[in-house]
Amino acid sequence: MKKLRFIMDSLSHHLPFSVLSVTIGLIFAGILTFFTEILGIENPSEYFEELFHLFHPTHMLFSALATTAMFWKNEKKFLKAFIIGIVGSAGICGISDIFMPYFSGFLLGERMKLHICIIHHPQIVLPFLFLGVFMGYVAPKTLEKTEGVIFSHSLHVFISATASIFYLISFGLTEWTHQIGSILIYMVLAVIIPCCTSDIIFPLLFVSKKEIHAHFH
């Protein structure tokens, strides 16, 4: 019960920042789409695919940083933090940026293409992933404070929102602005649930009971 209470307490403090970050991500993607239409680009998906290959690895970095920092903030076990940082970021980022947008596109009636970057472009993704874990250890002391973790989580969610939308545009759903209402719902689910799981729930599930007890006393 203490661990569940601990998780819910952290989640309640992060959720408002997550919603704000998703909204900003949608606005950013919408502005880019607007300019591609003004410039008369016939096939913007190619350009958005390049941007996806920038935002997805960057998402890996911020996810690994936030996940590792959240665990390291509560329990100083190096190898355990490393494993949790890698698994929690690589697996959940794939769900958030690729699989959930992929299935969302199908639900919206588009024929989506499945593109898994860590398989197709490991040389792009892995350096970001390992650097993010490393930063989770050696980040300034301010990042070990609650405010620092919230800041890194907010950046993580913003980048994740943008990466998820870019995946939709790049691999099937080119006319996404005409379905913005449905996409808003799907992107909130695609971003909030995996990112909060990666940054908060997943690392805190593995914090020892001794550390949880110390937190509440």
pLDDT in tens, 80-134: 889 888 988 888 888 889 999 999 999 988 889 999 998 998 999 999 999 999 9
Per-residue confidence (pLDDT) for residue 212, from 0 to 100: 47
Model pLDDT for residues 169-195, shown as the tens digit of each residue = 899 888 888 888 888 888 888 877 776
Whether pTM exceeds 0.85: no
- Tokens of residue 50, six digits: 């390049």
Closest residue by Cα to residue 48 from 154, 173, 157, 155:
173
Mean pLDDT along residues 32-44: 84
pLDDT at 216 over 50: no
- Give every CB contact of residue 213 below 8 A, 6+ residues apart in sequence: 2
Per-residue confidence (pLDDT) for residue 166, from 0 to 100: 92
Per-residue confidence (pLDDT) for residue 210, from 0 to 100: 52
pLDDT at 73 over 50: yes
Per-residue confidence (pLDDT) for residue 182, from 0 to 100: 87
pLDDT at 72 over 50: yes
Per-residue confidence (pLDDT) for residue 130, from 0 to 100: 94
Closest residue by Cα to residue 71 from 87, 91, 55:
87
Per-residue confidence (pLDDT) for residue 128, from 0 to 100: 94
Per-residue confidence (pLDDT) for residue 150, from 0 to 100: 59
* CA–CA dist 120, 196 (Å, integer): 26
- Residue 62 burial (10 A CB sphere; 0-12, 13-18, 19+): buried
